[in-house]
Amino acid sequence: MQMGFMEMPTNKWVESSFWNFDSLFQPQSHPARDAHDTFFIKDPMFTKSVPEDYYERVKTMHEKGGSGSIGYRYNFKKEDAYKNLLRTHTTAVSSQMLYKLANQEGGFKPQRYFSIDRVFRNETMDATHLCEFHQVEGLVADYNLSLGDLIGTIETFFNKIGITQLRFKPAFNPYTEPSMEIFGYHPDLKTWTEIGNSGMFRPEMLRPMGLPENVRVIAWGLSLERPTMIKYRIKNIRDLFGHKVEMGRTRTAPVCRFDHSE
């Protein structure tokens, strides 16, 4: 918030595949949409309705492309788009915010958004993984943003939480291009480690929403649990989140600071 970011209303755990995947230009055949990775809902199984016109534009983009893209060229299925699920990332909400930003009264205006909230993945559980965890997400929508802006914003953010040495590595996400993995030199671990993911949302995602041609959206995200576990030297995620947390740990936890004078 100190950086001018507005919180997004993320109190929405049940999501449609449409917003969670399709609106982000993630194809319906993508492995992340498998039952192995995503929790699908039994009741209510299907979404009742999504914005009609926008749905058609998203479908066309997947099937045929447009706005300079050749699209994915496959048959887009309504049943797949309407499958309800527990959201796998808060990017589903980011997508809705950008859609609203594009269609608000008065038209698009530059904005910065953030969220910190829960997501659900059908992952193999182990010491550092549960099926629920929390994501931190930030995005900036403005005219003619560049990778330089993305790198600069990310550095400002991580500087505030004590990580000052950063490197960026080319990566792949279905919904961002360019994409970068963020690596930081962790002061506690004394080693370089991956600390987040980032990118510029694809035009195939932004144009059907109605965002103007020269508006670019840069975004980055990280999990909340992992950096917390590193900072407080917690080995098992169950010691941090859930009913197996020891009250003793909660009661003796220090105030959270990143500005120690050492």
Number of CB atoms found within 10 A of residue 20's CB: 26
Q: Pick out residues in 101-160 that bind another protein (CB under 8 A).
A: 110-112, 118, 120, 122, 125, 130-132, 140, 142, 144-149, 151-153, 155-156
- Please identify which residue in 164, 169, 193, 212 interacts with another protein, judged by CB under 8 A: 169
State the first-to-last Cα distance of the chain, in angstroms, to the nearest integer. Answer: 26
Residues in region 19-38 near another protein by CB under 8 A:
19, 29-32, 35-37
CB atoms inside a 10 Å sphere around CB 227: 21
**Neighbouring C-beta atoms of residue 9, cutoff 10 Å:** 10
56 is a contact residue toward another protein (CB under 8 A): no
**What separation in angstroms does the CA of 93 have from each of 23, 144, 193, 259?**
11, 23, 28, 32
Place of tokens 């319906």: 28
Q: Which of 127, 159, 160, 172 binds another protein (CB under 8 A)?
A: 172
Q: Interface with another protein includes 161 (CB under 8 A)? A: no
Minimum distance of another protein from residue 197's CB (angstroms): 10
**Footprint on residues 59-88 left by another protein (CB under 8 A):** 65, 67-74, 84, 86
Q: How far is CA 172 from CA 26, 67, 70, 116, 201, in A?
A: 12, 21, 18, 23, 12
Tokens 């904005």 belong to 111
Position among 6, 64, 78, 189 found at the interface with another protein (CB under 8 A): 6
User: Which range binds another protein by CB under 8 A, 39-47, 227-235, 254-262?
Assistant: 39-47
Chain residues 173-192 in contact with another protein, contact rule CB under 8 A: 174, 177-180
Q: Name the residue nearer to another protein (CB basis): 74 or 258.
A: 74
Quick one: which of 214, 213, 204 has its CA closest to 61?
204
CB atoms near residue 3 (< 10 Å): 12
Q: Which is nearer to another protein, 142 or 230 (CB)?
A: 142
Give me the 227-256 binding string for another protein, x by CB under 8 A, dash otherwise: --------------xxxxxxxx-xx-----
Q: Does 16 bind another protein (CB under 8 A)?
A: yes
Q: Which amino acid is at 139?
A: L
Picking from 214, 213, 231, the residue whose alpha carbon sits closest to that of residue 222 is: 231
Q: Binders of another protein: how many residues, by CB under 8 A?
A: 103
Q: Which is nearer to another protein, 112 or 231 (CB)?
A: 112
For residue 185, give the H/E element and its range.
strand 176-186
